Structure 1
Amino acid sequence: MRIKLRLTAIFPALLIPAIASAQDILWEKTYGGKHAEYLYDAIPTPDYGFILAGSSVSGKNGNKDEKNKGDLDYWVWKMDEHGNLDWQKSFGGNKEDLLQSIALTGDGGFILGGTSASDKGSDKTENSKGKEDFWIIKLNAKGQQLWQRTIGGSGMEKLLSIAQTKDNGYILGGTSSSNKTITPEGQTPDLYGKSEDSRGNLDFWVVKLSEAGTIEWQRTIGGKYVDELRSIQPTRDGGYILGGYSNSPASGDKTEENYGLGDYWIVKLDAQGEIDWQRAYGGEKDDNLNALIPTRDGGYLLGGNSNSGATYSKSKTNREGTDFWVLKLDESGEIEWQQTYNYGKADILTSLVENKDGTFIIGGYAQSEADKSGQKTPVKTIRKDKEGINDYIALKIKPNGEELWSQTVGSKGDEVMKRLLETRDGGIFWQVPQTALPQKTKRQPKAVMTFGW
């Protein structure tokens, strides 16, 4: 399986009506070996290029130039603005190493964050601490390793989000099932183990690293059941905003009861990791947060999917199946507005982007459905070739949540948009796990880049 990347230019209908629906392929590249590659993150780089981050089980074949180390290895691909290779790197141990997140660092390099089950050997310098651990690797601008850390307890840790902090350190966000690491008598304490017991089944786990990669503090935050951290972002006051999914009642660190099967759970931390405030948002069914961003006005935008009606803190009912559910919060977590967006029978939101003018771009995917006669029932512009086929979608909304335009892109395959981000030239980068070329658009933005595997 190979990663395929396409760059597609799309022009505003108001400016160029004659080519409003055209999609010009500027370039197309395929990356990968003979086996499977999994792409989880991508960011634009200061030189107008891009860096892709994921994992691979392929050996030295195709255009992958390093041997596989074990099971899945971290795989990083740096390209220029035309998609040409600058460099690629593979890092791995004897078991599964899953790279989930990459961020730019102030020295021009990169920080990699993911989950590893490997013991010491090959590129791994430390043994596994439990089932899976956080595995952090610092690279310079050319992809050379500067240092690495294995961080975890005796159970399972899964890292999903990493970012650089104002002091040039790093904030790691993920989920943990481990209790406090116990040091046997006579042995040196593990400086990269877990400092607190689990609150229940799964907890939010946040780790703050210095610039050199040493732990400055860590926090376990959770209730008695399942609490999964999906996103962590630095805030302008030097603290951090955490967003995830929770089905815990008021227990442990959680101060509010859950509303339905599961809710959005937001926790605001100060610069030292202490809780400033927390809020749960949800209706009577299942509400699943996937994305969170701080906004320019000091508030926050939350996004995910919901099948709840207008109950409890949800004022906008879902229209059919599962819809996008977006909430705008002020800096203290009070709801300013909320909105649902319906495209198919199962709408899954994966990305949020704020534009300079205060508008927002939302990315995700939607599943098609059939009517009672067996024919496809059009829902907005979602394609209806076959029931259950996913199309990926983007929509732009005003600062108050009102929809400005929407775009859907599909093929004969099953598209699942992983991430959407804004590029330096005002375009939009779509991370999509499919090799299908976009087929149609509606009220397009300036530029769209799609890639997948």
Structure 2
Amino acid sequence: MMIRLIVVSIAISFAFTGFGQVPPIVWQSTFGNTGNEVMHSIAATADGNFMVMGIADVNGDEVDCDLKGQHDVWIFKMTPTGSIIWQKCFGGSKEEANPYNKIIATSDGGSMFISESWSKDFDATGHHKYSDVLTIKLDANGNVEWKKSFGGKFYDVPRNLLELPGKRYVIVSRSTSSDGDVPPNMDPVKFDAWVFIVNQMGAIICNNVFGGTGDDDLYKVLQDNEGNLVLFGQTTSMDGDLEGQIVEGTDAWLLKIDTTGNVLSSKVYGQSNNEAWRDALPAPNGGYFAFGITEDPGVLVDKGSYHGDDDLWAVKLDGNYNMQWQGVYGGSERETMMQAVAAPGNSGFYLAGGTYSVDGDVVKPSSNGNDEYVVKISPNGTLLWSFTHGGTEKDYANAITATGLVAGVAYSTDGDVIGGAGNGDGWIYKFKDKKTTLNQKQYEYPEGYNGEVVLQVLPNPARDLVAIDFGGINGIFEMVLLDVTGKIMMQKTISLDGSKRDESIDVSAFDDGFYILQVTGEKLFQSVQMIISR
């Protein structure tokens, strides 16, 4: 018989779950005082620091700026270790608060932010009626270069912001207005996606609404290699720019336009329940990675599994926007998805949000499940690790960076949270991801081996006993259980002759966390991720 040599490479990622395995917090800080403070957005600057955007309503402790109203926009420049370099507050006498408020560092060394605003005074110049998109351009020291309130007489809400070549800026919002700065809405009651481009002085140079007679919302904008804009969000429409699409409930929506607003492509993704995209990143060889939520038990999952309610949802699209794979992660309760970033070294993606779950992929949550939730997946969607941070109250993440900074809010004063006042403090911490190591082992297989996947681990997550279902195949197999450092925790040889299809192993002596189960046979090699959680 002809034998070929196969080198099997198993990526063992440090799985940050369980008390001994959570990614270590390098530093953390709560920002605020007895008022209510929330961090919404964070952006790296060219000098190695960070611009942070949040809200504040009371001066004191870290908050030291010219507050004007109920919640003002709080902007500060921060060192990589959490020290405030300078800070400013912006807004008016009413509310400037929205979880999708956004700040970006600009190519001229300054920054620019968008915020929902209900104010008609102070910085909210030119306000229309209800909520507007307050947009302010700052120089490198936080001085205002220009400020505008964009909108109409109804509801105009910011979503995303991107700098384009030539010091132009595309602002993504949603709107029910049909006057003021906003082109006619396709439905006078429901939201349309509103996308407009401004020049370096804040003048609108391109202005369009997109959608149909349902509710339409776009959360992320990217520019492709041809200079066109690709946007990601959600829709309930089947007319207008969604003509010919089949939408059930709320579906994820991809829209491609040129920089004058002509629609080049419009496509929906989803099944019978609700799906939505919140973020997206370009793929190295064309296409996109899109990230959001799904609450569809019928989702055709390639990676992970649907657990219940809203789960995190990751999708890989090719250059023609066809789905190549999708992964689902979370627990039986609701997860929220706020931001995704590429992890260093092409090692995958960090997804940040919140969770109410205490099961599934959510390992070691707090007792009430209201925690920040951060997930790392590989470039092909495999769950590498997840962690929750927080205390006994509600804590959630709004932003994450590739360097491991997580920004959000902590209502807790216990658990992982140090120094909080308890009324809602801006919470920023840095975690340390550990590099993926590669273990290689050589196995000899007969010619024609096709790596057929037949193995199942039940239950997964496990507590004490695990059944390994071999799908009815026969043979002699070597089972090896590895921890996340590659250490062999268990090794045994079993023989299956058809009289039984599974083998049980006792994991009661092992710590909570992620493990790798390797099974080797004459015509089988499979590596399965297993979670132990009690």
TM-score interval, smaller chain: 0.7 to 0.9
Amino acid at match of 1:268: K
Corresponding residue for 2:84? 85
Give the distance between the partners of 1:318 and 1:24, measured in 2 at CA: 28
Residues 1:203 and 1:127: Cα distance change in structure 2 (over 3 Å) = same
Map Cα deviations across residues 287-340 of structure 1 (whole Å, 9 max, x no partner). Answer: 1322222222231111122121336x8888733333222111122211121122
Give the distance between the partners of 2:319 and 2:258, measured in 1 at CA: 13
Higher relative contact order (CA 8 A, sep 6+): 2
Give the distance between the partners of 2:380 and 2:405, measured in 1 at CA: 24
Residues 1:359 and 1:33: Cα distance change in structure 2 (over 3 Å) = closer
Give the distance between the partners of 2:52 and 2:306, measured in 1 at CA: 35
The aligned runs of 1:17-416 (5 Å cut-off) are 21=21, 26-58=26-58, 60-98=59-97, 100-119=101-120, 121-124=121-124, 126-181=125-180, 193-199=181-187, 201-248=190-237, 250-310=238-298, 318-355=306-343, 356-357=345-346, 359-369=348-358, 378-383=359-364, 386=367, 388-416=368-396
TM-score, normalisation: structure 1? 0.80
Give the number of aligned pairs.
401
Q: Flag structure 2 segments of 5+ consecutive residues without an equivalent.
A: 1-11, 418-430, 436-534
Give the distance between the partners of 2:289 and 2:335, measured in 1 at CA: 18
User: Does residue 431 in structure 1 map to residue 407 in structure 2?
Assistant: yes
Decide whether the 8 Å contact of 1:178 with 1:198 is kept in 2.
no
Q: Flag structure 1 segments of 5+ consecutive residues without an equivalent.
A: 1-11, 182-192, 370-377, 448-453
Corresponding residue for 2:478? none
Give the distance between the partners of 1:172 and 1:384, measured in 2 at CA: 36
Map Cα deviations across residues 112-139 of structure 1 (whole Å, 9 max, x no partner). Answer: 11122222x3233x23212111111110
Identity of paired residues, percent? 25
Corresponding residue for 2:402? 422
- Higher Rg of the two aligned structures: 2
Give the distance between the partners of 1:399 and 1:254, measured in 2 at CA: 30
SS of residue matched to 1:253: helix
Map Cα deviations across residues 208-237 of structure 1 (whole Å, 9 max, x no partner). Answer: 011221111011001112112222222332
Decide whether the 8 Å contact of 2:307 with 2:360 is kept in 1.
no
Amino acid at match of 1:433: V
Q: CA deviation at 1:89?
A: 0.4
SS of residue matched to 1:304: strand
Decide whether the 8 Å contact of 1:366 with 1:382 is kept in 2.
no
Residues 1:395 and 1:61: Cα distance change in structure 2 (over 3 Å) = closer
Decide whether the 8 Å contact of 2:297 with 2:308 is kept in 1.
no
Decide whether the 8 Å contact of 2:39 with 2:55 is kept in 1.
yes
Decide whether the 8 Å contact of 2:160 with 2:172 is kept in 1.
yes
Residues 1:177 and 1:431: Cα distance change in structure 2 (over 3 Å) = same
Residues 1:342 and 1:14: Cα distance change in structure 2 (over 3 Å) = closer
Decide whether the 8 Å contact of 1:256 with 1:279 is kept in 2.
no
Give the distance between the partners of 1:216 and 1:342, measured in 2 at CA: 42
Give the distance between the partners of 2:366 and 2:384, measured in 1 at CA: 26
The range that moved more, 302-311 or 127-136, is: 302-311
Give the distance between the partners of 1:391 and 1:64, measured in 2 at CA: 25
Amino acid at match of 2:275: D
Residues 1:384 and 1:66: Cα distance change in structure 2 (over 3 Å) = closer
Residues 1:21 and 1:382: Cα distance change in structure 2 (over 3 Å) = closer
Q: CA deviation at 1:410?
A: 4.2
Residues 1:137 and 1:304: Cα distance change in structure 2 (over 3 Å) = same
Residues 1:23 and 1:243: Cα distance change in structure 2 (over 3 Å) = closer
Give the distance between the partners of 1:163 and 1:272, measured in 2 at CA: 15
Residues 1:88 and 1:444: Cα distance change in structure 2 (over 3 Å) = closer
Map Cα deviations across residues 18-54 of structure 1 (whole Å, 9 max, x no partner). Answer: x974766554444224322222111222222222102
Q: CA deviation at 1:245?
A: 1.8
Decide whether the 8 Å contact of 1:133 with 1:156 is kept in 2.
yes
